[in-house]
Structure 1
């Protein structure tokens, strides 16, 4: 019997409203989590997947590896500060780095729409090559498919990556404890606003560009000096607030952030105020959240401020033993605002 149709007691047919996928299921927020929890995890349950990190940590023949994959459907495919090719390499490199691994090899799968200009494809592939060189990784295998015009929007890219775990590190939410500091590497929301400006033809100051960047060399420098870092995450879909909610829930802790310390460019804040967006929920593609014991915070900040991608790093809050699983923002007037997980979709197809 087809889904959504039941037989009534008298033999008649009763139609139920069938659940369908919404754009919000790709937001990285609550709907995404429900999709993963209710469909993906029960189907694929295993110990590596259960960690729900940015990638899987695997032991193979005595070697500790990290493995990750991601797909990119950003619209438009070219935007201030990057393009879908640069984004695909950076996203996969960064996911491996957040696991505490040194990225080594990537794959690249392309789904191309009939009619895509070859010049655009060449530009995107060249961007991927340049970004891979900057990150110190090789793209070693891949696949290409072409579909009928209208079946996809120009080009979609899937990248997977493998890396080797760095020694002495254990990046996991289980090590997040009350009293630790929460550090973010720089201004929030730049990527989302850059993509949105190109999508809608908005004119923004030249310095508001996507923060899309490979962070693996920064992360490796941090972990070389401070292997005690408890947690690393890049606040992509769902932004800072959703990412911290995920960590707080997994660790069973609370978090308090300081509004006065939130790094958001005035131009980004102005766009958010006009269009009704909250920068704490906007996607970033070149930022890292680090959670570390207070005794190591200044050392971590010193390392980060010496790097081009994190010169504006700062402590923005602390982990607490109250309100487990919740994140709150102390406002500039002294009140507390609960930051819940993103419930819908602010900006679809942002990565």
Structure 2
């Protein structure tokens, strides 16, 4: 005799199963295993517990393979999209003033901001090494969530991969970002003209130095912290009073020298820096002297280089100084017509030397 449950019993059973499936997963393991990248329940629990719980928003909560947006809403904010991507492989993961999670958010926000765009949405993909403590991943995700909220941006989709022990170094993060550029804003290195002023929003080399000290390979003690910070609000403030900014870029890997060489080559102009005007902390200079490094090439994660016409320079400078992210802003150089494609540094002794593009790598794994 075949006995089957009543329809009522079946419905009750199905409802309980559905509730169990919809319940947010929890990670029970203390360390990442290959199962967390297998696509099964362990991975779904990891995503729910670590990422969805931190990054929760209406777009992400759909848990689709992609994020979809209302185009009409985007069009109201501007007439062009800005789109960027970056990967973060910093060592160590946590360092004075910041960590890889905050770095990933602010780095991508800043890449959008220097185009004049309002940052709106981010993706987050992580590559995890088998054996990574889950608690470290929780800390990184919480840091990313705090940084995203601070920048007013949403993390809307992502991906998780796990590789065998030794195939990666703990944790790598890739982010991509989308922003909208307001009408009338046209920021490009090709806009640079002779006579433009070169402005920076503060001290250079703090991030690179903080990473170097945090590695513990040198018997040095300093209170230097990374300058990691979002720059979108500062950019918005600048553009509010001067939409005619010619060029902007954040000076990350390769430092100030690399950014200015890129500008000089793109616009076929020369740039002259004034050494005495470039803000560098005494401790950073001291570390550079000990190790034979040049602060012009050290990485930054919260420094913005702005090129504007001479007529607008003082107005832009005073506006930057009124913002917390630009309180130490200063004019550090000028654009010249010759020699084209070359960056010169006028030293404190009155001589000039060429500041070339970085060759090799002063500090590996800094962002």
Q: TM-score, normalised by structure 1?
A: 0.81
Alignment match, 1:257: 273
Distance in 1 of aligned mates of 2:316 and 2:266: 23
Alignment match, 1:271: 287
Paired residue secondary structure (1:260): helix
Paired residue secondary structure (1:145): strand
Aligned equivalent of 1:84, options 78, 84, 100: 100
Distance in 2 of aligned mates of 1:67 and 1:210: 26
- Kept in 1, the 8 Å contact 2:194–2:337? The answer is yes
Deviation at 1:308, TM superposition (A): 1.5
Q: Which has the higher helix share?
A: 2
Alignment match, 1:333: 349
Deviation at 1:298, TM superposition (A): 1.2
Per-residue Cα deviation, 1:250-275 (whole angstroms, up to 9, x for no partner): 00000100011010000000000001
Aligned equivalent of 2:221, options 193, 197, 204: 204
Paired residue secondary structure (2:84): strand
Deviation at 1:295, TM superposition (A): 1.1
- 1:219 pairs with 2:248: no
- Residues 143-222 of structure 1 correspond to what in structure 2 (within 5 A)? 143-201=159-217, 202-206=219-223, 208-222=224-238
> Which of 1 and 2 has higher RCO (CA within 8 Å, sep 6+)?
1
Q: Which has the higher strand share?
A: 1
Paired residue secondary structure (1:209): coil
- 1:285 pairs with 2:301: yes
Deviation at 1:203, TM superposition (A): 4.0
Distance in 1 of aligned mates of 2:354 and 2:187: 26
Alignment match, 1:39: none
CA RMSD of superposed structures (Å): 1.2
Distance in 1 of aligned mates of 2:220 and 2:293: 17
Aligned equivalent of 1:298, options 311, 314, 327: 314
Q: TM-score, normalised by structure 2?
A: 0.78
Alignment match, 2:336: 320
Deviation at 1:348, TM superposition (A): 0.6
Q: Structure 1 residues 262-271 or 164-173, which shifts more?
A: 164-173
Alignment match, 1:344: 360
Paired residue secondary structure (1:309): helix
Distance in 2 of aligned mates of 1:167 and 1:229: 14
Per-residue Cα deviation, 1:284-324 (whole angstroms, up to 9, x for no partner): 00000000011111111111111112111000000000100
Alignment match, 2:323: 307
Distance in 2 of aligned mates of 1:83 and 1:285: 11
- Residues 26-41 of structure 1 correspond to what in structure 2 (within 5 A)? none
Higher radius of gyration, 1 or 2: 2
Paired residue secondary structure (1:204): coil
- 1:129 pairs with 2:145: yes
Question: Mind listing any 5+ residue stretches in structure 2 that lack a counterpart?
Answer: 1-73
Paired residue secondary structure (2:324): coil
